[in-house]
């Protein structure tokens, strides 16, 4: 580890923190329907969209109606994206004449992009036409991100309102998330990426002649526009197979910094939106502090592990850290930081191959996802994910002092706790359940590239990433098989919607409750004690659930490496 590396990491953290208040304040005004800087330009567009859709922006919905609208919208997106892939060969904007995508792969990709996962069992530049990349994948990047933001705001309203029967209007929240937040920022980001050298064209791939006289095809396309939303919306799907390690997706250190900042920007700012909407910004800062503690701990361990490198090579005097699978232009500190950022948020974009990380370095991204992507998390999903843990933490605090737990003046009772536990249990059910089957099924085992614990980690990482709606991979596993395409698709749908429904049930329940004034026995939830409790509950729940699996994978590999064995 170097001083220069730590300075780069601290600069990144400082930029993210500085963006929280202004971006949070702007989004709060957007969701409250207040005037913003963009209102003169966008209000007429917003009004026209409501008229065309037959939606009354003043009408609000019960949580069940809100969820039903969300499910219908996402089902429609799934079917459209599946159809675009299956009929790709006969559709325009296909200069490379790419054919129809295999049915199982098309299902996997459709499930991936509507769930904000962007898991890719294909190479984008050799599989998807420009039309599918734009009208299919990029559109769903916006739609899935806006869906997560809308759901987070609905849950926040549950905490902020009292004696209410509604949690908002899904169509209004979806429209405002897209129109006022995602689109304007993506326009600016697209222009920035084009300025840095990222392609944005509908022209055919470029033919070049190498110094040896061989012919080479250089893939180009509408890259910058997809890059902007894939990072800002924590989607992560790359136009190119190697994602942000490709110089056309990530040209230099400045673009790398901007990409990492945009991954965290909205998720971190939503904690401030939460604080503002419940009337106490300290509540939002407390949640962000808990996220920050977990994030910094992950960065320290990952950077240390990669900087230390393989002890077997160190014994031979070949020290210098682990550069396998990393871009020289980013080096160890920015590769380790990017890996933690992209898995702390549910982005999944990579600028280095996680399969080449050391055992402990690769374990940190795995743990980030196993905790439920609540360290900033996906846009919206991270906030409602950590609020579920907040309910569990408040319940534990209530058990300690022997009184009914309260949070923001709302009694946390049996229904809320049951829904929170239900939302949490669906994640290990998918992550560990599918991993257990895949490690004994011969056709699934055949896809594993490495033996021993590293091979197990490849499978565990796959289903963890899918269920957590992250989308990154260890890259050593061949996922483009019928078994993995179908089961990964199911895992992605489980990880998204089996969490959303209980979370929205909590929102509806809390919104209907009356607010009770704080008393001498009320546990303060805006200070260091609460932050410590929340972090402790997250780590204990995660440890009890996933430690045995980690012991079979990265921990076993690490101790084997110390004993002189590699896989």
Query: 139 lies in a domain?
Result: yes
Q: 402: pLDDT confidence band, cut at 50, 70 and 90?
A: confident
Query: 72 lies in a domain?
Result: yes
C-beta separation of 266 from 144 below 8 A: no
Query: 293 lies in a domain?
Result: no
Question: DSSP secondary-structure letter at 514?
Answer: P
Mean pLDDT to the nearest integer, 212-223: 86
Query: 61 lies in a domain?
Result: yes
C-beta separation of 335 from 306 below 8 A: yes
Q: Which residue has the tokens 């990491």?
A: 9
Q: 306: pLDDT confidence band, cut at 50, 70 and 90?
A: very high
Query: 179 lies in a domain?
Result: yes
Q: What is the pLDDT of residue 406?
A: 86
User: Per-residue DSSP letters for 157-207?
Assistant: HHHH-SS-S--B-HHHHHHHIIIIIIHHHHHHHHHHHHHHT--B--SPPEE
Q: 2: pLDDT confidence band, cut at 50, 70 and 90?
A: confident
Number of domains in the chain: 1
- Inform me whether the pLDDT recorded for 215 exceeds 90: no
**Sign of the dihedral defined by the CA atoms of residues 112, 539, 386, 412, in that order:** positive
Residue 110: Cβ within 10 Å count:
26
* Structure tokens that stand for 460 in this block: 């565990």
Percentage of residues of the chain with pLDDT beyond 70: 99
Residue 71 structural domain: 26-252
Mean pLDDT score of the chain: 91
C-beta separation of 456 from 436 below 8 A: no
- Inform me whether the pLDDT recorded for 170 exceeds 90: yes
Q: What is the pLDDT of residue 167?
A: 93
- Inform me whether the pLDDT recorded for 332 exceeds 80: yes
Q: Is 305 left (phi over 0), alpha (psi -120 to 50) or beta?
A: alpha
Buried residues in 428-456 as b, exposed as e (16+ CB within 10 A): bebbbebbeebeeeeebeebbebeebbbb
- Inform me whether the pLDDT recorded for 401 exceeds 80: no
The length of the chain in residues reads 567
- Inform me whether the pLDDT recorded for 530 exceeds 90: yes
Contacts for 304 with CB less than 8 Å, ≥ 6 apart: 1
Mean pLDDT to the nearest integer, 432-449: 92
Q: What is the pLDDT of residue 561?
A: 86
pLDDT tens digits, one per residue of 118-164: 888 887 778 888 899 888 899 999 999 999 999 999 999 999 998 89
Mean pLDDT to the nearest integer, 405-424: 91
Q: What is the pLDDT of residue 404?
A: 74
Q: Specify the higher pLDDT residue, 205 or 12.
A: 12
Q: What is the pLDDT of residue 553?
A: 92
- Inform me whether the pLDDT recorded for 41 exceeds 80: yes
pLDDT tens digits, one per residue of 421-431: 999 999 999 99
Strands 206-209 and 215-218: antiparallel
Dihedrals φ, ψ of 154, to 5°?
A: -60, -40
**Is 326 in a helix, a strand, or coil?**
strand
* Structure tokens that stand for 50 in this block: 């409501």
Q: What is the pLDDT of residue 460?
A: 95
Q: What is the pLDDT of residue 564?
A: 79
- Rg (C-alpha) for the chain, rounded Å, is 23
User: Per-residue DSSP letters for 416-442?
Assistant: HHHHHHHHHHHHHHHHHHHHHHHTT-H
Contacts for 563 with CB less than 8 Å, ≥ 6 apart: none
Q: Specify the higher pLDDT residue, 520 or 430.
A: 430
Q: 302: pLDDT confidence band, cut at 50, 70 and 90?
A: very high
Mean pLDDT to the nearest integer, 55-63: 90
Q: Specify the higher pLDDT residue, 157 or 406.
A: 157
C-beta separation of 142 from 155 below 8 A: no
The CA distances from residue 474 to 24, 279, 366, 464, 519, in Å, are 34, 42, 10, 11, 50
Q: What is the pLDDT of residue 125?
A: 77
Q: 247: pLDDT confidence band, cut at 50, 70 and 90?
A: very high
Minimal CA–CA distance to 428: which of 468, 385, 486?
468
């Amino acid at each position: 580890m170097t001083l220069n590396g730590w300075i780069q990491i601290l600069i990144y953290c400082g930029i993210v923190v500085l963006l929280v208040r202004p971006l949070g304040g702007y989004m709060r005004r957007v969701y409250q329907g207040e005037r913003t800087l963009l209102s003169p330009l966008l209000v007429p567009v917003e009004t026209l969209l409501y008229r065309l859709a037959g939606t009354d922006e003043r009408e609000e919905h019960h949580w069940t109606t809100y969820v039903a609208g969300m499910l219908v919208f996402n089902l429609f997106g799934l079917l459209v994206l599946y159809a675009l892939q299956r009929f790709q060969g006969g559709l325009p904007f296909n200069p490379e004449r790419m054919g129809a995508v295999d049915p199982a792969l098309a299902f996997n990709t459709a499930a991936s992009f509507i769930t904000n996962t962007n898991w890719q069992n294909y190479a984008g530049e050799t599989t998807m036409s420009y039309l599918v990349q734009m009208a299919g994948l990029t559109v769903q990047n916006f739609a899935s991100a806006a869906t997560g933001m809308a759901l987070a705001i609905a849950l926040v309203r549950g905490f902020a309102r009292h004696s209410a029967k509604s949690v908002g209007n899904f169509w209004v929240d979806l429209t405002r998330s897209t129109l006022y937040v995602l689109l304007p920022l993506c326009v600016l980001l697209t222009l920035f990426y084009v300025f840095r050298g990222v392609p944005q064209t509908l022209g055919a791939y470029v033919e070049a002649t190498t110094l040896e006289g061989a012919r080479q095809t250089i893939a180009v396309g509408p890259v910058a526009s997809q890059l902007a939303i894939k990072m800002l919306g924590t989607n992560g799907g790359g136009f190119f197979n190697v994602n942000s390690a490709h110089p056309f997706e990530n040209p230099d250190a400045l673009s790398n910094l901007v990409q990492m900042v945009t991954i965290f920007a909205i998720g971190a700012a939503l904690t401030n939106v939460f604080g503002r909407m419940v009337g106490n910004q300290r509540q939002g800062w407390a949640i962000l502090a808990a996220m920050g503690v977990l994030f910094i701990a992950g960065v320290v361990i990952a950077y240390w592990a990669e900087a230390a490198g393989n002890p077997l090579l160190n014994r031979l005097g070949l020290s210098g850290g682990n550069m396998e699978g990393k871009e020289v232009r980013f080096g160890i500190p920015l590769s380790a930081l990017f890996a933690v950022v992209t898995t702390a948020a549910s982005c999944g974009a990579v600028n280095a191959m996680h399969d080449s990380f050391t055992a402990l370095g690769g374990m940190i991204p795995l743990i980030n996802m196993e905790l439920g992507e609540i360290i900033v998390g996906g846009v919206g999903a991270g906030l409602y994910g950590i609020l579920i843990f907040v309910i569990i933490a408040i319940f534990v605090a209530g058990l300690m002092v022997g009184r009914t737990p309260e949070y923001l003046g709302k009694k946390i009772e049996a229904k809320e706790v049951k829904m929170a536990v239900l939302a949490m249990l669906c994640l290990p059910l998918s992550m560990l359940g599918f991993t257990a089957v895949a490690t004994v099924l011969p056709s699934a085992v055949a896809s594993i590239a490495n033996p021993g614990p590293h091979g197990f980690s490849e499978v565990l990482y796959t289903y963890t990433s899918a269920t957590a709606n992250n989308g990154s991979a260890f890259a050593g596993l061949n996922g483009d098989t019928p078994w993995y395409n179908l089961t990964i698709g199911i895992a992605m749908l489980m990880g998204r919607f089996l969490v959303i429904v209980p979370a929205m049930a909590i929102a509806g329940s809390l919104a209907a409750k009356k607010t009770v004034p704080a008393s001498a026995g009320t546990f303060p939830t805006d200070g260091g004690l609460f932050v410590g409790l929340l972090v402790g509950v997250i780590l204990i729940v995660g440890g009890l659930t996933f430690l045995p699996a980690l012991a079979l994978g990265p921990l076993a590999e690490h101790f084997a490496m110390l004993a002189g064995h590699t896989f």
